[in-house]
Amino acid sequence: MSERVASERTGEHGAYTEASDEEEFELIRRDGEPILSVQDLRTHFDTEEGTVKADDGVSFEIEEGEILGLVGESGCGKSVTSLSIMRLLQRPGYIADGRIMFRGEDLATKTKEEMRRIRGNRMAMIFQEPMTAMNPVFDIGWQVGEPLRIHQEMSRSASRTEAIELMRRVGIPSPEDRIDDYPHQFSGGMRQRAMIAMALACEPDLLVADEPTTALDVTIQAQILDLIRELNDRLGMSVLLITHNLGVVAGTCDRVAVMYAGRIVEYGTVEEIFNDPRHPYTKGLINAVPDPTRDEQDLHPITGNVPSLADTPEGCNFAPRCPYATEQCQTDDPRLREVDDDHYSACIWEDPL
Ligand SMILES: Nc1ncnc2c1ncn2[C@@H]1O[C@H](COP(=O)(O)OP(=O)(O)OP(=O)(O)O)[C@@H](O)[C@H]1O
Ligand code: NI
């Protein structure tokens, strides 16, 4: 880290452009193993109403250097998925089954201590609300530098110097003047940048971002997404980007996993998902996005609600809301299958639309 910083101090936005990063990235890409492979993940909450199956057999992969979008309506299990991956679930939530293969190791079986060494180091997470990750009583510089002191045993003064560089990289103006500020002295957008700086401190291989721009206004939202894209591009950092906003997915992601009621219902490249959606739920989400190029809005929000995950319907979870549902959909429980090259859908109909 410090060597790289020393060689990069000159360029204002020249972060992460060094040749060695690029070469390493190329090598990793050729390797072909996904950085993260979530396999049949089942995350449950035992409640008085019964077992809530927030992840009910979730599988997806993130390739090295790609941005995977995880989309779906509120309550479908996106955050639970990310918290399971980071092993930050709180009781009564628990991983009941499945594997979370990260660089060939199963995170689902790691001890708390092992996870503490991985989190903030090889993988990091950012949230919708930066104050979730920040402590109001410590200054920004201390917090941005903290992962370096913990994981790299960096001294206070070295971590401070490094924090200034990290803050500069994520576009915080005059970081040497802002480093002693406290979180409440930062605007929402700048706090988000500071949280990203903290997440990047140890150069994670995987960044998990749960609705990182939802609380921000549109202009700042675009800037933060540009920043994530740029860091992905320059560093080769893989990203899991959770959002309910399909516009964010279209502009930022390489591939998309569409989640509904605790399951992935469609999975493919951004192009495939937007140009040739196969699952009626995906189609519904796309139809519900306003089209800024048209005056007359022909919006079709999906009617009905996500079912209670303690009591999902027999057959297809989406059938009660699906305009294409037939009798068979009330009983058959469809799983993901390949409908085109690298394009998967969990509808019993290959192309119901
Ligand atoms: N502590 C808990 N106890 C019981 N059920 C929970 C708990 N936390 C989450 N759940 C259930 O898990 C399901 C998925 O929640 P999750 O927060 O992952 O949704 P989400 O897709 O991230 O939604 P949003 O877009 O609103 O953030 C919800 O239906 C919720 O009822
Ligand atoms: Ni969420």
Residue 338 token pair:
């390949």
Q: What's the 87 CA to ligand 2 centre distance in angstroms?
A: 15
| DSSP string for residues in 87-125 | T---TTEEEEEEEEEETTEEGGG--HHHHHHHBTTTEEE
E strand residue ranges, the chain: 36-47, 50-62, 67-71, 93-102, 105-106, 123-126, 206-210, 238-243, 255-260, 263-269, 337-340, 343-345
Contacts of 254 (CB under 8 A, 6+ apart): 63, 66, 67, 68, 269, 270
Residues 203 and 278: their CA atoms lie apart, in Å, by 37
Atom of ligand 1 nearest to the CA of 76: 21
- Report, in angstroms and rounded to the nearest whole number, the Rg of the chain calculated over CA atoms: 21
Nearest alpha carbon to residue 62 among 42, 43, 89, 81 = 81
Q: What's the 88 CA to ligand 2 centre distance in angstroms?
A: 13
Give, in order, the Cα–Cα distances in Å from 215 to each of 46, 70, 144, 150.
Answer: 30, 18, 21, 29
Q: What's the 77 CA to ligand 2 centre distance in angstroms?
A: 7
User: pLDDT truncated to tens, each residue of the chain (353 aa)?
Assistant: 333 333 333 333 333 333 344 443 343 343 578 999 999 999 999 999 899 999 999 999 999 999 999 999 999 999 999 999 999 999 999 999 999 999 999 999 999 999 999 999 999 999 988 888 899 999 999 999 999 999 999 999 999 999 999 999 899 999 999 999 999 999 999 999 999 999 999 999 999 999 999 888 888 889 999 999 999 999 999 999 999 999 899 999 999 999 999 999 999 999 999 999 999 999 999 988 876 666 665 667 788 888 899 988 899 999 999 999 999 999 999 989 999 999 999 998 876 65
Contact 258, 273 (CB under 8 A): yes
pTM of the predicted protein model: 0.88
Neighbours of ion ligand 2 (CB under 5 A): 78-79
Ligand 1 pocket, CB under 6 A: 45, 47, 52, 54, 72, 74-80, 92-93, 244, 309
AA identity, residue 290: P
Ligand nearest to the CA of 83: 1
Q: Which residue is associated with the tokens 């800024």?
A: 292
Give the ipTM of the model, two decimals please.
0.99
Ligand nearest to the CA of 49: 1
Contacts of 206 (CB under 8 A, 6+ apart): 35, 36, 62, 102, 122, 123, 124, 237, 238, 239, 240
Per DSSP bridges, beta strands 206-210 and 255-260 are unpaired
